Amino acid sequence: MPATRVKRRRSRSKKNKEEIENQRMTHIAVERNRRKQMNEYLSVLRALMPESYVHRGDQASIIGGAINFVKELEQKMQVLGACKKMKENSDGDSQQHVSSLPFSEFFTFPQYSTSPVHFENSVGKNEKLLKTQSTIADIEVTMVESHASLKIRSKRLPKQLLKVVSGLHSMRLTVLHLNVTTADQIVLYCLSVKVEDDCKLTSVDDIATAVYQMLGRIQEDCVLSC
Q: Report the candidate in 176, 206, 180 with the shortest Cα–Cα distance to residue 193.
A: 176
User: What average pLDDT score do residues 111-122 get?
Assistant: 60
DSSP of 123-179, one letter per residue?
TTHHHHHHHHB-SSEEEEEEEETTEEEEEEEEE--TTHHHHHHHHHHHTTEEEEEEE
2 phi/psi in degrees, rounded to 5: -60, -40
For residue 68, the tally of other CB atoms under 10 A from its CB is 25
pLDDT tens per residue across span 161-198? 999 999 999 999 999 888 888 887 888 998 888 899 89
pTM: 0.60
- Select from 3.30.1360, 3.40.50, 1.10.3470, 3.30.519 the CATH code of 95-225: 3.30.1360
pLDDT tens per residue across span 34-89? 888 888 888 888 888 887 777 777 788 888 888 878 877 877 776 677 667 666 66
Q: Where are the domains of the chain?
A: 2-48, 95-225
